[in-house]
Amino acid sequence: MTSDKGELIRLSKSSISDLEKDAVLGVLDREFLGMGAEVVAFEAALELFFGRPVACVVNGTAALHLALQACGIGPGDEVLVPSLTYIASFQAISATGAKPVACDIDPLGCILDIRDAEKRMTNRTKAIMPVHYTGGVGDLAGIYKFAEENGLRVIEDAAHAFGTLYNDVRVGSFGDVACFSFDGIKNITSGEGGCIVCDDLQVLQKIRDARLLGVQNDTEKRAAGERSWSFGVGAQGWRYHMSNIMAAIGIEQLKRFPDLAARRRELARVYDQKFADHAVIRTLPRDYDHVVPHIYVVRIKNLVSRVDLQEKLLALGIQSGVHYQPNHTNQYYLDESAAPLNVTTRIYPELLTLPLHPDLSDDDVVRVSSELMRLLA
Ligand SMILES: *Cc1c(COP(=O)(O)O)cnc(C)c1O
C-alpha cells in the first residue's frame, strides 16, 4: 500500500492485513472473547520467539507496572529512569508507590547515561529502567554491570525494541525483566497489549496472578478451560490480562513480523542516507542490521520553532511528532532538589519524529526528507 499523491503521510499507523481481520472474526464466531486459547497460543509463540517464559497483559504500561510490583518495588523505593521516555514509564513506577528518579541521556544515542544515573543513586534505589529509545539499546551490558554492582533489578522498557538484536540475540531473550508494548503503532500490535519476558519464575508467577486480580493460579485454570469459583488472593492484583481478540491479532502480527521489521529497517536506512552529512539534521546512530526501529527521530540543530516547522510539514501533508516531553518537566514529577538534566534539556527542543510505518513507500520517505531539507535550507 502506498499513499497516493495528496494523501496524508501519517506519522505512524497500524499495518493490518486480512490475516488479522480473519483471526478476529474467528474469535468472535467462537464467542469466547476473554482470556483463553488465543492468549495461551500467543504466549507460546512469543516464548518460541524469545526462548524465555512470557506473560501477556493488557498493555505495555501494565507490563511495566506488574514487573515492578513483582520485583518488590513499592513505597519508599526509587527507580532510575531516563526523563526522555513516554509518560507510561514514569506512571508505571509511581503506580507502585515508588519514586521515578529522572536521569539524563547521552547526547548521541539519546539513551540513559549510566554515569548520570550513578550520581542519582541513593540507599533507596532498588531498580533501573533503561528505555530502548526508538529501538536502540545503547550499552546494555554496561547497564547490567552497573545494576549488578549496585544490587539493582533491571526492568527494561523495551516498548520500542521488539525484535531488536543486541550482541546478535533478541532484546528480552537475556537479562532480568523486559517489557514490551503491542499498542496499535508498535513494531507488532495486538490492538492494545503488552508482555513481560523473564526467566525468574517466581517473578513471572506473581505477574500471572497479579494480572488476574491477584487470584492465585487462575492463569493455569483458565488455560485448562476452567476458572476459579473460590480463590486465594495473596497480593494486590489488577485486571490486566489480555483478551482472545487481542491475542488473535498478535499471533498474526508475529507471523508477519519478519516482513514488518524488514520494511521498518529499509525505510529508516533511506532516511539515514538522505540526511547523511546534512548541515543541521543529525540522525541517531542506529545500526539497522540489529535495530528494528519503532520511530525515526532526528535532531535539528539551531531549530528556532519546532511548532512552526511541524505546521509547515503538515501543510504539505506530512505528519510529524515529538518523542518525548521530558518527564521531569511534568508538574507531577517535578523535583526541585534534583540536579539539572543538562543533556535532556539541551536536546529536547531539537527532536523531531518523522513518519515511519511499514506501509510507507520509499518514495514517501524520500518526499518527507526532501521537504524537510527544503524547509530547513
Ligand atoms: C508504548 C510505550 C509504553 C507503554 O505501552 P502501552 O502499550 O501504550 O501502555 C511504555 N514505554 C514506552 C517508551 C512506549 O513507547
pLDDT of 218-257, one tens digit each? Answer: 888 888 888 778 888 989 999 999 999 999 999 999 999 9
Instruction: Supply the mean pLDDT for the chain.
Output: 96
Q: Which atom of ligand 1 is nearest to the CA of 181?
A: 7
User: Which of 364, 371, 366, 261 lies closest to 1 in space, CA to CA?
Assistant: 364
Range in 209-218, 243-252, 262-271 the model is least confident about: 209-218
Range in 121-135, 212-226, 294-308, 335-349 the model is least confident about: 212-226
Give yes or no for residue 86 CB within 6 A of ligand 1. yes
Measured from the Cβ of residue 37, the count of other Cβ atoms closer than 10 Å reads 16
Give yes or no for residue 160 CB within 6 A of ligand 1. yes
- Which part of the chain is CATH 3.40.640.10? 18-252
DSSP single-letter state for residue 167: T
Hey, what amino acid is at 361?
S
Query: What is the C-alpha radius of gyration for the chain, rounded to an integer number of angstroms?
Result: 21
User: Which of 206, 172, 215, 219 lies closest to 60 in space, CA to CA?
Assistant: 172
* Structure confidence at residue 104 as a pLDDT band (50, 70, 90): very high
Backbone angles phi, psi at 203, to 5 degrees: -60, -45
Region 372-377: what's the mean pLDDT?
97
Contact 27, 244 (CB under 8 A): yes
Catalytic residue among 21, 99, 145, 186: 186
Spatial separation of the C-alpha atoms in residues 284 and 126, rounded to whole Å:
30
Residue 222, pLDDT score:
86
Is 94 exposed, middle or buried (CB count within 10 Å of its CB: 0-12, 13-18, 19+)?
Answer: middle
Query: For the whole prediction, is pTM greater than 0.95?
Result: yes
DSSP single-letter state for residue 105: B
Residue 5, pLDDT score:
52
Return the SS3 of 140.
Answer: helix
CA angle 98, 99, 100 (to 5 degrees): 120
pLDDT for residue 1 is more than 80: no
Q: Which atom of ligand 1 is nearest to the CA of 88?
A: 10
Range in 213-217, 286-290, 360-364, 369-373 the model is least confident about: 213-217
Spatial separation of the C-alpha atoms in residues 269 and 286, rounded to whole Å:
10
Site of grid cell 526532501: 370
DSSP single-letter state for residue 374: H
pLDDT for residue 29 is more than 90: yes
Alpha helices for 177-243 (secondary structure H) = 201-210, 218-223
Q: From residue 313, how far is each of 78, 98, 348 by CA, in Å?
A: 41, 40, 19
Spatial separation of the C-alpha atoms in residues 225 and 185, rounded to whole Å:
32
**pLDDT digit string, tens, across residues 319-350:** 999 999 999 999 999 999 999 999 999 999 99
Residue 181, pLDDT score:
98
Spatial separation of the C-alpha atoms in residues 27 and 246, rounded to whole Å:
10
Is 256 exposed, middle or buried (CB count within 10 Å of its CB: 0-12, 13-18, 19+)?
Answer: middle
Give the fold, CATH level 3, of 258-376. Answer: Aspartate Aminotransferase, domain 1 (3.90.1150)
Spatial separation of the C-alpha atoms in residues 284 and 73, rounded to whole Å:
33
Return the SS3 of 65.
Answer: helix
Spatial separation of the C-alpha atoms in residues 294 and 281, rounded to whole Å:
19
Decide if domain 18-252 falls under CATH 3.40.50.620.
no
Give yes or no for residue 88 CB within 6 A of ligand 1. yes
- Which part of the chain is CATH 3.90.1150.10? 258-376
Give yes or no for residue 294 CB within 6 A of ligand 1. no
Give yes or no for residue 348 CB within 6 A of ligand 1. no
Task: Answer yes or no: 186 catalytic.
Answer: yes
Region 176-187: what's the mean pLDDT?
98
Residue minimizing CA distance to atom 5 of ligand 1: 60
* Structure confidence at residue 168 as a pLDDT band (50, 70, 90): very high
Spatial separation of the C-alpha atoms in residues 11 and 296, rounded to whole Å:
10
β partners of residue 82 = 103
Range in 57-66, 123-132, 209-218, 359-368 the model is least confident about: 209-218
Residue 3, pLDDT score:
45
User: Which of 22, 18, 20, 40 lies closest to 30 in space, CA to CA?
Assistant: 22
Q: From residue 358, how far is each of 22, 60, 86, 256 by CA, in Å?
A: 20, 21, 22, 11
Contact 295, 356 (CB under 8 A): yes
